[in-house]
Amino acid sequence: MTDVQTTTETSDDLTASYDAVIVGAGFAGMYMLHKLRWLGFTARVYDAAGGVGGTWYWNRYPGARCDVQSLDYSFSFDSELEQEWEWTEKFSTQPEILRYANHVADRYDLWQDMQFNTRIEAAHFDEGAGRWIVRTDQGDVVSAQHVVMAVGTLSTPKLPETPGIETYQGETYQTQKWPHEGVDFTGRRVAVIGTGSSAIQSIPLIAEQAAHLTVFQRTPNFSMPAGNRLLDADEVAERRADYPAYRQMARESFFGIPIPGEPKMAFEVSDDERDATYQAGWEAGNLVALIGAYGDILFDKAANDTAAEFIRSKIRDIVDDPEVAEDLCPTDYPVGTKRPCLDTNYYATFNRPNVRLVNLRKTPITQLTPQGIDTSEESFEFDAIVYATGFDAMTGSLVAVNVRGVGGVELKEAWSDGPMTYLGLAVSGFPNFYTVTGPQSPSVLSNMMVSIEQHVDWIADCMVYMRDNGYSTIECTPEDQLAWVEHSSELGDQTLYPLANSWYMGANVPGKPRVFLPYIGGVGPYREKCDQVAANGYEGFKLA
């Protein structure tokens, strides 16, 4: 796509006109469409995928499942939907979550306003008309008053920058774009590169099938047992009976997942009490039980060390070979500052005779070869390589679109030193343009369903306010945006997050500015701020 092509678009090219174009048909785009249509707006959803579900459409690797419990990781906007859908497991599998997404699309008849296998390439703001001109890779050019970017925070896959990657002749797979027909590794020599959440879920299952599995680990992760199990009919009935109150607690909570009681600080209790609390957190099978056990774990290094050491002691207990155990122990960043993981038999998998761990800190990969992978010490041959190497998170899918706002300024340029948003929802210079779970909102630090619903509701309310009051454009002011970015970054600096080379910090993508991308003020307080902005007539925005 070139500038010449995009600037020659005129209103004569238009094939359709909508109140809103929604980019993405994951949970965010689906709910946005439903809500806008219900409010009487016209909207069209575009997705590069062949169906709904976003994350759950693409990430079909073995073992893929949610790690926020299904009874939490689901929509709350319609009590009938909440009551009728049957989750079978504590942490549902990708196929079950995808079935849920399809059920939602059927139930609310979303299909008619969705277009698949269609990528949005450009969105340019036409200042004269006060509308966006949006272009797809299928030749559609449509006009919309509003553009909602429901493009996902973990939707632009990233491969390693390893020399020779294109020369490898065997089969290659990416966890983030797994073949729909599945992969049979029986009898194969398989490599997995990466040890993040996707690798931690897939490694135990690949190991069960492959003749031999070699795991290439650059940074070990802290993982806790998921304790997955079938859901019990009584617990489901109990939750269903209590859903309204429970969901409200989630909305007011810090992570979008209710944690009962006010946590103490780690050193307010005895060593024995702390260990007992960590043991309970370890057994809870809950992403935030251990890191949320004390109020200072994410803020105070000494407090954090106690939790980190507890998990390291578990790794040493589980893994038979002491050297492998040490290689699997994270030591150079605080627990919680890279996204924690929940697993099923991850550490125990390294006790299998057909599994080997290669610690890239000791022997880095030097190149990929036609046969396999070379490290500084060894040449490996593989039948298949699995890249579990993550995403250009939070900003990747936003800047991949050629978005041009007022004065033709490109979003990618505007964000060249890091993203600048107001509330993680809006960008100065880009009127009527919204980012669902955007940078500088709680987003990836939360149960994403709670954050998605909050953003969709806020955006829809904003559009209704504009319609009711005769406004055609809304744009946040540069001053309020800057104040929000500074506030978000100050809060981030008070935590331990900046100590890790994580995707939260943009550190996994070479050249990406190192800034703390999400907002750590907590889901509940953040929601209050957004509500207050709306109640004050969209404080911080210019309406015209």
| DSSP 8-state code for residue 409 | -
Residue range at the interface with ligand FAD (CB under 6 A); choices 145-153, 346-354, 427-435, 481-489: 145-153
Contact call for residue 29 and ligand FAD (CB under 6 A): yes
Least CB distance from residue 265 to ligand NAP, whole Å?
27
Half-sphere exposure of 176 (CA within 13 A, CB side): 19
CA separation (Å) from 418 to 104, 424, 510?
A: 35, 13, 13
Q: Which does 448 bind (CB under 5 to 8 A by kind): ligand NAP, ligand FAD, none?
A: ligand FAD
Long-range CB pairs of 470-474, under 8 A, 24+ apart, other chains included: 471/543, 471/544, 472/130, 472/145, 472/544, 473/130, 473/431, 473/432, 473/543, 473/544, 474/426, 474/431, 474/432, 474/538, 474/541, 474/542, 474/543, 474/544
Q: Which is nearer to ligand NAP, 123 or 203 (CB)?
A: 203
CA separation (Å) from 220 to 112, 322, 360?
A: 45, 15, 10
Least CB distance from residue 401 to ligand FAD, whole Å?
5
Least CB distance from residue 464 to ligand NAP, whole Å?
32
Q: Do 441 and 451 touch, CB atoms closer than 8 A?
A: yes
Applying the rule CB under 6 A, the residues between 192 and 221 that interact with ligand FAD are: 198
Q: Which is nearer to ligand NAP, 134 or 342 (CB)?
A: 342
Number of residues that bind ligand NAP (CB under 6 A): 28
Least CB distance from residue 54 to ligand FAD, whole Å?
2
Which residues on adjacent β-strands are paired with residue 356? Answer: 214
Kindly state the helix (H) or strand (E) to which residue 216 belongs, with its residue range. Answer: strand 212-217
Least CB distance from residue 231 to ligand NAP, whole Å?
17
Q: Do 415 and 438 touch, CB atoms closer than 8 A?
A: no
Q: Which does 194 bind (CB under 5 to 8 A by kind): ligand FAD, ligand NAP, none?
A: ligand NAP
Contact call for residue 449 and ligand NAP (CB under 6 A): no
Contact call for residue 285 and ligand NAP (CB under 6 A): no
The residue from 24, 53, 194, 431 that contacts ligand NAP (CB under 6 A) is 194
Applying the rule CB under 6 A, the residues between 47 and 106 that interact with ligand NAP are: 66-67
Count Cβ neighbours within 10 Å for each residue of 158-179 and write b for 16 or more, e otherwise: beeebeebeebebeebbbbebe
Half-sphere exposure of 354 (CA within 13 A, CB side): 17
State both tokens at 235.
């617990």
Contact call for residue 448 and ligand FAD (CB under 6 A): yes
State both tokens at 4.
């010449």
The residue from 162, 389, 447, 454 that contacts ligand FAD (CB under 6 A) is 447
Q: Which does 191 bind (CB under 5 to 8 A by kind): ligand NAP, ligand FAD, none?
A: none
Give Cα 518 to chain centroid, integer Å: 11
Least CB distance from residue 278 to ligand FAD, whole Å?
22
Give Cα 459 to chain centroid, integer Å: 20
Contact call for residue 512 and ligand NAP (CB under 6 A): no
Closest CA to 222 of 324, 291, 135: 291
CA torsion angle 367 369 372 375 (round to 10): -30
Q: Alpha-carbon distance 490 to 504, whole Å?
A: 15
Residue range at the interface with ligand NAP (CB under 6 A); choices 136-144, 277-285, 384-392, 449-457: 384-392
Closest CA to 228 of 307, 328, 346, 339: 346
Residue range at the interface with ligand FAD (CB under 6 A); choices 62-70, 185-193, 353-361, 504-512: 62-70
Residue 89 buriedness (CB in 10 A; 0-12 / 13-18 / 19+):
middle
Least CB distance from residue 397 to ligand FAD, whole Å?
4
What single-letter amino acid sits at 535? A
Least CB distance from residue 450 to ligand NAP, whole Å?
15
Q: Which is nearer to ligand FAD, 98 or 485 (CB)?
A: 98
Contact call for residue 374 and ligand NAP (CB under 6 A): no
| DSSP 8-state code for residue 440 | T
Residue range at the interface with ligand NAP (CB under 6 A); choices 187-195, 291-299, 472-480, 532-540: 187-195
Contact call for residue 508 and ligand FAD (CB under 6 A): no
Q: Alpha-carbon distance 62 to 203, whole Å?
A: 8
The residue from 218, 314, 404, 455 that contacts ligand NAP (CB under 6 A) is 218
Residue range at the interface with ligand FAD (CB under 6 A); choices 152-160, 163-171, 360-368, 504-512: 152-160
Number of residues that bind ligand FAD (CB under 6 A): 36
Contact call for residue 389 and ligand NAP (CB under 6 A): yes
| DSSP 8-state code for residue 521 | S
Q: List residues binding ligand FAD (CB under 6 A).
A: 23-29, 46-49, 54-55, 57, 59, 64, 66-68, 73, 119-120, 150-155, 198, 397, 401, 436-437, 447-448, 452
Q: List residues binding ligand NAP (CB under 6 A).
A: 66-67, 154, 160-162, 175, 193-199, 201, 216, 218-219, 339, 342, 360, 388-391, 444, 503, 508
